[in-house]
């Protein structure tokens, strides 16, 4: 009787079996005894699931061992942020290769493959800023700017602070932010692309400064934004768009960090006129300023830019916000660095028992930093603005020495960018 042999015919739809009759039954020859037979493999065998592990640990400051919150910890394509204690957990990790950690204003680091089950402790180095401000006069003068770069090359200066928008209420480059043009507030005195390229070629960190809520043109042109005098209302989120748009653009241009100045409510006679219009309590005022800075951080951190704030020096030693909306605790909790303006000439006669505090620059800086140091939130750095006017080299150096002794950075303020080599420690 004829048997049927099944063969395959390939077509567009894949293999197809056909039955072909044959007169002679086909009997397969037995396999040699020394040759093992084929092993049956079940169809649709699931792919083995890769073994996963959990990596956990803490990120701390290499300077003082304190926690570094909001640091990004990554393994492969997985990233988590550290919590308020600097702790992190990476669950279901397949790739147990290198662990990388980064956060703006800190130096990124990579550690070797962790030992499974052994918590990691990763120390980050803060970027200790030693800075000079690039005034409008210097930014607009190529020779003066080159001289500033040469000064940085020969000294410990590692940072330049540019102005995006200064006290004149002008934006100092050709901005794409439409509101600046609507206010007729654009005065291009430098090309940020050119100056940033030169600065980066000298391996310098870059900060740009934005004068935030004091702006005469804005207050006059948009009455509903105005608070009193030259000030706009910091508590109104509608007034946050302009400085935040400038900050985002600055980050896109390539600045490493954005510092908000005049990020407060007004002081002096203007404060008296605006008193009924500002939040009534220290907590409410401080919360309003912190909310603005928190929004800045939420926009700039994903872009890789740090956020800092310049604050009044007096609040470092005051139990409240001095009616400004600035307290070290609330502001440092939402920014990467705090820059109190510790100009000895600005302290009243009798401060610290000195008839003229301006004649005692070192002790004034030391006292202010010591008073405020424990009020700064973990993970936030201290880098005061120090006085670079009316002073000789010994007086400027006295301020630098006190900041350095406390592990703080420093930024020298001189309105015209007139810095002297003898002020600065050598490279």
Backbone angles phi, psi at 271, to 5 degrees: -65, -40
pLDDT at 37: 52
- Last residue in a domain, options 126, 155, 181: 126
Nearest residue to 364 via CA among 390, 340, 338 = 340
- Last residue in a domain, options 75, 92, 126: 126
Rounded Cα gap, residues 292 and 294, in angstroms: 5
Contact criterion met (CB below 8 Å) for 187 and 168: yes
Q: Are residues 191 and 283 in the same domain?
A: yes
| Domain containing residue 87: CATH number | 2.60.40.1120
Residue 198 lies in a domain: yes
| Total domains in the fold of the chain | 2
Residue 240 lies in a domain: yes
The residue whose two tokens read 């960018």 is: 417
Residue 246 lies in a domain: yes
Q: Are residues 226 and 113 in the same domain?
A: no
Residue 265 lies in a domain: yes
Would you list the DSSP string of 301-344?
GGGT-EEEEEEEGGGGS-SS-TTTT--HHHHHTTSSEEEEE--G
Q: Are residues 285 and 404 in the same domain?
A: yes
Q: Are residues 154 and 249 in the same domain?
A: yes
- Last residue in a domain, options 95, 126, 157: 126
Q: Are residues 348 and 331 in the same domain?
A: yes
Residue 24 lies in a domain: no
Q: Are residues 135 and 121 in the same domain?
A: no
Q: Are residues 219 and 202 in the same domain?
A: yes
Q: Are residues 87 and 136 in the same domain?
A: no
Rounded Cα gap, residues 211 and 250, in angstroms: 13
Q: Are residues 151 and 110 in the same domain?
A: no
Q: Are residues 74 and 194 in the same domain?
A: no
Strand segments (E) across 138-285: 159-165, 205-211, 226-228, 231-232, 257-261
Q: Are residues 81 and 209 in the same domain?
A: no
Reduced to 3 states (helix: H, G, I; strand: E, B; else coil), residue 382 is: strand
Bridge partners for 130 per DSSP: 410
| Domain containing residue 305: CATH number | 3.20.20.80
Rounded Cα gap, residues 383 and 270, in angstroms: 28
Q: Look up the domain containing 90 and give its range.
A: 55-126
Residue 27 lies in a domain: no
Q: How many residues does the chain have?
A: 427
Q: Encoding tokens for residue 254?
A: 């390539």
Rounded Cα gap, residues 4 and 139, in angstroms: 92
Q: Are residues 113 and 100 in the same domain?
A: yes
Residue 23 lies in a domain: no
- Tens digit of each residue's pLDDT, the chain (427 residues): 443 333 333 343 343 333 334 444 444 545 444 545 555 555 565 656 567 888 899 999 999 999 999 999 999 888 999 999 999 998 888 766 789 999 999 999 999 877 777 889 999 999 999 999 999 999 999 999 999 999 999 999 999 999 999 999 999 999 999 999 999 999 999 999 999 999 999 999 999 999 999 999 999 999 999 999 999 999 999 999 999 999 999 999 999 999 999 999 999 899 889 888 999 999 999 999 999 999 999 999 999 999 999 999 999 999 999 999 999 999 999 999 999 999 999 999 998 899 999 999 999 999 999 999 999 999 999 999 999 999 999 999 999 999 999 999 999 999 999 999 999 999 8
Residue 89 lies in a domain: yes
């Amino acid at each position: 009787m004829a048997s049927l042999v099944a063969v395959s015919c390939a077509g567009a739809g894949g293999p197809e079996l056909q039955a072909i009759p044959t007169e002679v039954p086909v009997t397969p020859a037995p396999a040699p005894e020394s040759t093992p037979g084929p092993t049956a493999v079940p169809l649709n065998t699931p792919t083995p699931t890769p073994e996963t592990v959990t990596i956990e640990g803490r990120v701390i400051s290499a300077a003082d061992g304190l926690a570094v919150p909001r640091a990004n910890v990554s393994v492969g394509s997985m990233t988590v942020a550290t919590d308020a204690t600097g702790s992190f957990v990476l669950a279901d990790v397949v790739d147990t290769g290198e662990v990388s950690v980064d956060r703006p204003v800190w130096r990124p680091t990579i550690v070797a493959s962790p030992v499974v089950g052994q918590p990691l402790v990763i120390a980050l180095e803060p970027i200790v800023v030693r800075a000079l401000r690039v005034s409008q006069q210097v930014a607009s003068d190529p020779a003066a700017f080159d001289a500033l770069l040469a000064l940085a090359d020969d000294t410990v200066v590692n940072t330049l602070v540019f102005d995006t928008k200064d006290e004149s209420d002008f934006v100092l480059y050709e901005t794409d932010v439409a509101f600046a043009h609507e206010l007729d507030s654009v005065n291009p005195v430098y090309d940020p692309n050119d100056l940033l390229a030169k600065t980066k070629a000298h391996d310098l960190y870059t900060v740009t400064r934005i004068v935030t809520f004091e702006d005469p043109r804005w207050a006059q042109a948009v009455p509903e934004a105005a608070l009193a005098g030259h000030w706009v209302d910091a508590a109104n989120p509608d007034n946050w768009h302009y400085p935040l748009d400038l900050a985002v653009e600055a980050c896109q241009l390539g600045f490493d960090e954005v510092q908000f100045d005049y990020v407060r409510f007004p002081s002096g006679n203007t404060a008296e006129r605006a008193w009924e219009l500002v939040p009534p309590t220290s907590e409410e005022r401080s919360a309003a300023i912190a909310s603005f800075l928190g929004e800045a951080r939420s926009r700039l951190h994903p872009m890789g830019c740090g956020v800092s704030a310049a604050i009044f020096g007096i609040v470092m030693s005051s139990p409240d916000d001095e009616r400004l909306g600035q307290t070290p605790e609330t502001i440092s909790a939402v920014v990467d660095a705090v820059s109190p303006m510790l100009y000895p000439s600005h302290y009243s006669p009798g401060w610290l028992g000195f008839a003229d505090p301006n004649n005692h620059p070192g002790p004034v800086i030391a006292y202010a930093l010591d008073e405020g140091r424990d009020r700064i939130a973990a993970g936030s750095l201290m880098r005061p603005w120090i006085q670079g006017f009316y002073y000789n080299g010994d007086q400027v150096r006295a301020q630098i020495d006190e900041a350095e002794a406390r592990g703080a950075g420093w930024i020298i303020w001189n309105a015209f960018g007139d810095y002297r080599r003898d002020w600065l420690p050598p490279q």
